[in-house]
Structure 1
Amino acid sequence: MEVKTEKQEASSASMIEAVDDNENDLRIGERLVEKDRDSTLWSSSVSHKRILLHSIAALLAGGVFGYDSVINGASISMPAFLLYFGDHTTTGSLFVPSIWASMWTAMSYLLQAFGGFGIGLVSDRIGRRWACVAAACISIVGVGVQFAAMSRGMLLGGKMINGLAIGCIFASATAWASEISPLRLRGPIQSGIVLFMVLMQAIGLVTIRIYVEDMSTSAFRKVFALQWIWPVAAGVAFIIMPESPIFLLRKKKVDAAKRSLARLYGIDNHIAARLAVLRKQMEQEHSQNEAHGDASYLELFQGTNLKRTLTVIWLFLAAGLNGASLLSQNTYFLIIAGLPAVHAFDVGIGGFGLAVIAIVFSWFFMERFGRRCIWLVGVAVNIVVMAIIGGLHYSTSQGSLWAIAILMNVLLAWQLLTMTSIGWVITAEVSSYRLRAKTQSIGVISNAATTWLFTFTVPYVYNTDSGNLGARTGFVFMGSSMLLLIGSWFLVPDLHGLNTNEIDWLYAQNTSVRHFQQHADSAKTSAPEKVHNTDV
C-alpha cells in the first residue's frame, strides 16, 4: 500500500508540474503574440524571416493565377492568334467573335469557382499543402491542352481545366499562408500574393509583347508553353513546405504541429509556447464543434457568420462592380479602338509596372491609414476616373485615345493598391479558424463567379459587333462603383491589429464594422475569456 501511495503521489506531482509548465508556456506564448502585435513591419520581418521564406510557396500560387489571367485576356490581341483563331470583318480586319472572347475568359473563371468550392472540402481532409500540390498537377495538364490546341473548342477545354486548378490552388494557398502567418505579417503576406500575381501578369504581358510581331503559329504557343513554369514551381515548393500547424492540431497531430512550428519559427524560438497558444485556440474551436457540430458551408450563412461571409462575397463582387474586367481587357479594347498593337502592349506593361510599385506601398498604407479607409477612398476615386473615361469617348482625337489608354492603366494600378490587395487581406482575416478554409473557398468562388459574369458580358458591351459602347462603358462602371461604395460602407471592416479571437468577439457583440477600431481595446481584454461562449 505504501509503495502504491508513493507512486500515486509521484504521478500527481508530475501532473501538477506538467500543468504548471503548460500554463507557463501559455503565458509566454500570449506575451509573444502581444509583442508581435506591437512590433513594426521591419522588426517583425526580421524576427520571422523563416516564415517569409516559406511564404514563397503561396506567392508562386499567386503567380499561377496571375500569368493565366493575363494570357487569357491579352493573347487574343496577338496578330498570330487572331490569324489562327479569329475571323475577318467585312472590311478585312481581324477580330475574335464576342462569343469566343467571352467564353475563353468566362469559362475559365467559372471553373475556378467550382475548384474553389471543391477544394475547401478536400483541404480540410488532406491538408492545405497536398491540396496545392494536386492542383498544380492539374494545372500542368490544362496548360498542355492549351499548348496543343488546334481548335477554339480544344483551347476552351484547356482553359477550363486550368481554371479548375487555379481555383483549387489559390483557395488552399491563401488559407495556408494565413494560418502560418504571425499577426503583424498577415496583411503583408496576403498582399505579397497579390504582388506576385501582378508581377506574373506583367511578365505575361512582356512575353506577349516579345512575340506580338511574330505571325507564325508558334508565337502564341510559346506564350502558352512558358505558363508551365509556374505550376511546376508552385507544386515543387509545396512538396517541401511544412503543413499548416493549425490544420495539424485540428487533426490532433500535436507532434507534427510542433515540428511544423519548429520549421516555421526555428527550433529554439519558443516552440512550446507558440504551440500552447495554438492549442488553446483549438480547444476553443473544439468546444464550438461540440456545441454546433463540424464546420459546414451552411454555417457560413448562419448567426454572426452571415455578415462575415457577406463581407467576403462583397469584397470579391467589387472586382466586377469596379470595372476590373474592362481594365484587364484594356489591350484588346485599345486595339479595336484604333491604338496600334505595339503601343497598346507598351502602355499595358507600364501600367503593370506602376501596379507593382503601388502594391508595395500598400503594405505601409494599410497599417497607417487602415484597411477600411483605403478601400472607401479607392472606390470613390474609381467613380471619378470611370466617368472621365466615359466622357473621353466623345472626343475623336488621337490624344483622347492615348488619354484613355493611360487612365485605364493608372486606374488598374489604383485598384490593385486600394482594393485588390486590401480585399485579399481582409478576407484572410475576417473568418474564424474553424471556418477559414471554407471561407477562403467562398472567396475564390465569389471572385471567379463575379469575374466569369463580367468578363462574359463586358465584351458584348464595348465590342464592335455587339453593344459598341466603346469608352462609354466607363459610365456603366461609374454607376456600379457608386453601388459598391454604398455597400462597402456597411460591410467592410478595419481589422488592423486584431487577432482571430478578437475579431470573433467583435462580430459576436454585433459591433458595427464602422466602429471596430473604436472597440479594439475592449476586444483585446474581453475576447480571451468570452469568445469561447459565442457563436463563431
Structure 2
Amino acid sequence: MEMPGFKMVFGYEYDGEFLIPATWNALWSAMTFLGMSLGSLLCGWFSDRTGRKSGFIVGCLLSILGIGLQYAASHPGMLLAGKMINGLALGFFLALASTYTSEISPLPLRPVLTAAINFFMNSGQLAAMAIGSTRIGILTPDSYKITFAAQWAFPCAILLFALILPESLWYLIRKGKYTAAEANIQRLYARPPSVTKGYLEFLKATIEQESQLRSAHNAPGYSSCFKGTDFRRTRIACGMFLVQQFAG
C-alpha cells in the first residue's frame, strides 16, 4: 500500500515518514490467500450439495461483507478480518467460474469461455491498479476507501446475474431434477424437443458412467488427487495457475 492516506491511518511515523508495520503487511497478504484456499475447498463441498447458483450467491454475500469491513476499518485487525472474508469469497468465485462455465456452455464455446476467465482476472487487476493510481495524491482516508468501495461493483453485478442464471445441467441431473434440466437445456440451446431430450439422455448416461466408475474405485476423495494418474491431472491443473503467478 503506497497511498499516503492509507499509511497515515494504518501505519506509524518514523523520521518524518509514515510506514506500514511489516507484520501487518505480511498478514494482510497471507490471510487473503489463506481465505482463498479455504473458500475454494468449501465451495466444492457446498456447490455439490446446494447448486452452483447458490455457491455464487454465497460468494457474493461474503464479498459484500468483506469489502464492507475493509471500507469501515480504522484498525489493522478489522482490515485483516475484511480481507480474510473477501478471500473466502474469491475462493468461491475462482473455483466456481471454471466449473460452471464448463458445465453450462456448448462444447464449441467451452475452450474460449474457460480461457476468458483468466482474461477477466487479469483485466480486474489492471482496473484495480488504474483506480488506485488516481488516488495516490489524496491524503485523506477517501484515497483508499474509494478503492475499497469500487470492489462492490463486482459482487453486486455477479449477484444480479446469479439470480437469473440457469442452474448447472450436471448438478440438476445428479440430483434427479430431470424436468428442470430439460427446461434449462431448452433455454440454453433453443433446440427442438427431440434434440433436447436426446441431449438430456446423453448427459444422464455420462453421469451414470461416472457414478459407476466412482463405485468401482471405492468413491475416491480429495486424497485421490495426489495419487497415480490423478496426481498428474492435479499437477497440470495447478501448473496452469502457477505459470500466471510466475510471470510476475
TM-score (norm 1): 0.44
* Alignment-mate amino acid for residue 185 of structure 1: L
State the shift of 1:94 in Å. 3.2
Match of 1:124 among 43, 48, 54: 48
Q: 1:181-192 residue pairs with structure 2 within 5 A?
A: 181-192=105-116
Cα pair 2:67 2:152 within 8 Å, conserved: yes
1:452 alignment partner in structure 2: none
1:112 alignment partner in structure 2: 36
User: Taking structure 1 as reference, are residues 323 and 93 closer, same or farther at Cα in structure 2, changes over 3 Å only?
Assistant: farther
Q: 1:196-207 residue pairs with structure 2 within 5 A?
A: 196-207=120-131
Q: 1:78-157 residue pairs with structure 2 within 5 A?
A: 78-90=3-15, 92-157=16-81
* Alignment-mate amino acid for residue 133 of structure 2: R
Per-residue CA deviations over 1:484-528 (Å, capped at 9, x if unaligned) read xxxxxxxxxxxxxxxxxxxxxxxxxxxxxxxxxxxxxxxxxxxxx
* Alignment-mate amino acid for residue 215 of structure 2: E
CA distance in 1, matches of 2:75, 2:244: 30
* Alignment-mate amino acid for residue 28 of structure 2: W
1:288 alignment partner in structure 2: 213
Identity %: 35
Match of 1:315 among 237, 240, 244: 240
Per-residue CA deviations over 1:282-304 (Å, capped at 9, x if unaligned) read 12112213312445212323342
RMSD: 1.9
* Alignment-mate amino acid for residue 170 of structure 1: L
User: Taking structure 1 as reference, are residues 206 and 118 closer, same or farther at Cα in structure 2, changes over 3 Å only?
Assistant: same
State the shift of 1:257 in Å. 1.3
Cα pair 1:107 1:160 within 8 Å, conserved: yes
1:274 alignment partner in structure 2: 199
Cα pair 2:97 2:117 within 8 Å, conserved: no
Task: Tell which structure's C-alpha radius of gyration is larger.
Answer: 1
CA distance in 1, matches of 2:247, 2:21: 21
Q: 1:69-84 residue pairs with structure 2 within 5 A?
A: 76-84=1-9
2:140 alignment partner in structure 1: 216
Cα pair 1:130 1:239 within 8 Å, conserved: no
Q: Secondary structure at the match of 1:211?
A: coil
State the shift of 1:116 in Å. 0.5
CA distance in 2, matches of 1:135, 1:304: 32
Structure 2 residue runs of 5 or longer lacking an equivalent are: none
Whether 1:194 and 2:106 are equivalent positions in the alignment is: no
Cα pair 1:133 1:236 within 8 Å, conserved: no
Cα pair 2:7 2:20 within 8 Å, conserved: yes
Q: 1:471-482 residue pairs with structure 2 within 5 A?
A: none
State the shift of 1:112 in Å. 0.5
Q: Secondary structure at the match of 2:152?
A: helix
User: Taking structure 1 as reference, are residues 194 and 317 closer, same or farther at Cα in structure 2, changes over 3 Å only?
Assistant: closer
State the shift of 1:253 in Å. 1.7
State the shift of 1:169 in Å. 2.3
CA distance in 2, matches of 1:113, 1:189: 23
CA distance in 2, matches of 1:244, 1:265: 14
* Alignment-mate amino acid for residue 178 of structure 1: S
Q: Secondary structure at the match of 1:213?
A: coil
* Alignment-mate amino acid for residue 5 of structure 2: A
CA distance in 2, matches of 1:223, 1:314: 31
State the shift of 1:121 in Å. 0.9
Q: Secondary structure at the match of 2:238?
A: helix
Match of 2:166 among 242, 251, 271: 242
CA distance in 2, matches of 1:231, 1:316: 22
Match of 1:166 among 90, 104, 113: 90
Per-residue CA deviations over 1:51-79 (Å, capped at 9, x if unaligned) read xxxxxxxxxxxxxxxxxxxxxxxxx1212
State the shift of 1:323 in Å. 5.3
2:226 alignment partner in structure 1: 301
User: Taking structure 1 as reference, are residues 199 and 316 closer, same or farther at Cα in structure 2, changes over 3 Å only?
Assistant: closer
CA distance in 2, matches of 1:227, 1:255: 38
* Alignment-mate amino acid for residue 291 of structure 1: A
State the shift of 1:171 in Å. 0.7
CA distance in 2, matches of 1:256, 1:300: 32
**Alignment: residue pair count:** 247
Cα pair 1:128 1:173 within 8 Å, conserved: no
User: Taking structure 1 as reference, are residues 244 and 293 closer, same or farther at Cα in structure 2, changes over 3 Å only?
Assistant: farther
Per-residue CA deviations over 1:135-162 (Å, capped at 9, x if unaligned) read 1111111011001001111111110111
State the shift of 1:237 in Å. 0.9
Q: Secondary structure at the match of 1:216?
A: coil
CA distance in 2, matches of 1:311, 1:223: 35
CA distance in 2, matches of 1:166, 1:285: 29
